[in-house]
Structure 1
Amino acid sequence: MTTLIRLRDWVDERAPGLGALVRKHYTQYYAPKNLNFWYFFGGLNLLVLVNQIATGLFLAMNYKTSAAEAFASVEYIMRDVPWGWLIRYMHSTGASLFFVTVFLHMLRGIMYGSYKKPRELVWLLGSIIFLVLMAEAFMGYVLPWGNMSFWGAKVIISLFGTVPVIGHSLVEWIMGDYLPADATLNRFFALHVIALPLVLLLLVVLHIFALHEVGSNNPDGIDVKHGPKGNRWDASKPIDAIPFHPYYTIHDIFAAVFFVTLAAFVVFYAPTFGGWFLEHDNFTPANNLVTPSHIKPQWYFTPFYAILRMIPSYFGTPVWGVLAMFGSILLLMLLPWIDHGQVRSVRYRGTGFKVALAMFVASFLGLGAVGAGVTAEVVARWFPGADVTSWENAFGRLMTAGYFGFFVFLWIYTRYGLERTRPLPPRVTPDA
């Protein structure tokens, strides 16, 4: 311990700014004392990000960025590289679990109003992180060069063809060819391994710094009180707040142990997760002459893919579907300016907001089911002879209306003073 203290003092003497940075954002950062399990997911996001970077680095050491060798190199990693199978499964499972934690993290932000003043910049940076993460995941999905990787790349990149005038040239520029091939793999590999991770790390740091400037929100959605009547140890510290370390360090370590245990179970016993985490069509080499029976993206893209599919094509172009798909993400980014409500937390918001939020979550899950083809399978199994396409389209468009309707309702509901809220407590309330 004495050696560690001496090392700390040695570093502080030579880099005093580093010690001040650690104290400001970790050891002496005060967070509300009533944070509940919903606040686990921010730390878990960091944990999975570290896993993805570390395992991705080892995978890159044996990966070949060539259409002729990419698939075989992944098989070589799985079969011949010592512990390569474990690293590959940790990476593929981590990708899916990353989106699980990100979606729950964003849901918590919407529930407790973490996007409202003064945390608009925190939310905006988080939304940009989500966009970059989607691009990172898509490019990583293409690299194994299985058959679904090839056709998924072709379909998604072809969407840029809807851009007026330059669309077709833009598609060829992104692919580097007329079809996904060597140039596509080289570009996606460079972006996936170098460029986007650097952007992601920068945005995560900015996201955390911005959060610590304004302070963490809490389940009550009210500001922690400041004043002379602070905690009993130090009257200069904020009321109802506790140091992040050691209290929330232990809080997050407990969550991390539980999360890693679940992740290990998936990695060792169900790495494909029934085709959800690793699709069966991706265990066959890419073939531009053999189209998979159902081209669909990974599960975390399916809600947005369903929105694309549910918007009818006009004049032979899916431009409106593409706009709706990107608009569904843009609306999330604009949420601080759509919601004019004066109360942050769902605990004290009006009944209309609670119902709308529940319908929004249900619509998002419903769109995921449509995009993954689950809806069509259910209809075909339970209603033999029914027009599967018509039923799927009807359900998908209803879910699409529910998704976009949340933002329209929220703007009208709060903009024109229709919300009836409950009184806020004077101080943050203890959480079980």
Structure 2
Amino acid sequence: MIPFNVDITYRQMGLQLSDQVILRWLASLVLMYISFVVGIIISRPFFGKRKLSRKEFKQDLLKLATKKRKDVRDIFPFFAIFVAIFTFWLLWRPDFIDYFLTGDITAETYKAARVSFGANANNGVLLRIASTFRFTALPLCLYILFFIRKINTKYTPLFWAIFCITFLLNLISGQKGGVILILLGLFLCWLFSTGHITISLTTKVGKRFIGIALLLIFILLPFQYMVQYPGITYQEGLMAVANRLSGEVSRTLQLHFHVYPDIFPHLNGASSSFTNIFTDNDVVLDPGRVIRGYFLFSDITDATGTWNAAFIGAAWADFSYFGVVLQSILIVSLLSYYHQWFIGSHKTPSVLGTYIALSMSTFFLSEGNFLTTLFSFGLGLNFIFYLMLRRFSSLKKNKKKIPKSLKPSI
């Protein structure tokens, strides 16, 4: 979302954007940041403005292994096992193993494999649910299990089983961000488990963070590009990483302000892939796909890929400046509520895992619209899962506490 390169679209595509488009883009960025501040001010009277004490947090986390609070552990294992089996059973593709093991790998065959995986994941209601679980419930279970296994080691096999399932499904999807976010989320789990809520680069934890960041940028991400585009060199893969982390986010966002409303009219709220589950207009209404198809193939119905942009791109495509302001305020208000909920909650495994899952979901705001992030990538859905687990766990505990004399006779 940061304007790294104003002329990136011209340098990469030869498309000279008008001053009006550049003004829309920059004005929307400014409005977004102003709206963030306004959202914080508005949310404080409703949610509070308590600050998280580093000392208290560290004490809570260091005592995590000795706590006897059951949290949601009565119902959670069944939920985690169901999510893992359901998601893996529906999304796993055995032919991908053969694909990776064969020596005849080209960019075209890899692209075909990615398109095939995406088409399969969107073919039917159950497959869509499983695809949503891959981004939401599966990482949520993984993060919660990370902390539960510190209390009871019998959950360690389940943790590693779900980690393998999550890693493999994200790997065969061909989406580079999935694997990276899972690893980053586990790093945050480890960071929290040590009692740290901030990172100082001069400390041992900070040096480890630098090492992991360098490993991701210089090893893992270039490797994923080399898998996706067989034949490219390591240097070309590294340049692709640099472009993705800087220029690409500006280029795709600029194109949203170029296309809407000058080429296509505003969508008036029809850009969410979540709402498109119930319609037949998924390709036409997704602005990222429309823009990619329009520029590459002159065909807005092309479904072989999408040019994702930050949430304000879809907000602009929907409702112009009003959409940018409204969604920015809603996002920061929601995040303020989550933060205050976390501060006021007992630091149990489910609370810690849910907070990290919600935090990782915010990354999708940089490449998708708000509603899709809310429901398909877990920013809202993972919190609903947490509330459901707490509710069912409470019902089970209350049932156990009913005296025998009050139980109905059969």
TM-score in terms of structure 2 length: 0.31
* Bigger RCO (CA 8 Å, 6+ sep): 2
Instruction: From the two aligned structures, give the one with the greater helix fraction.
Output: 2
TM-score in terms of structure 1 length: 0.29
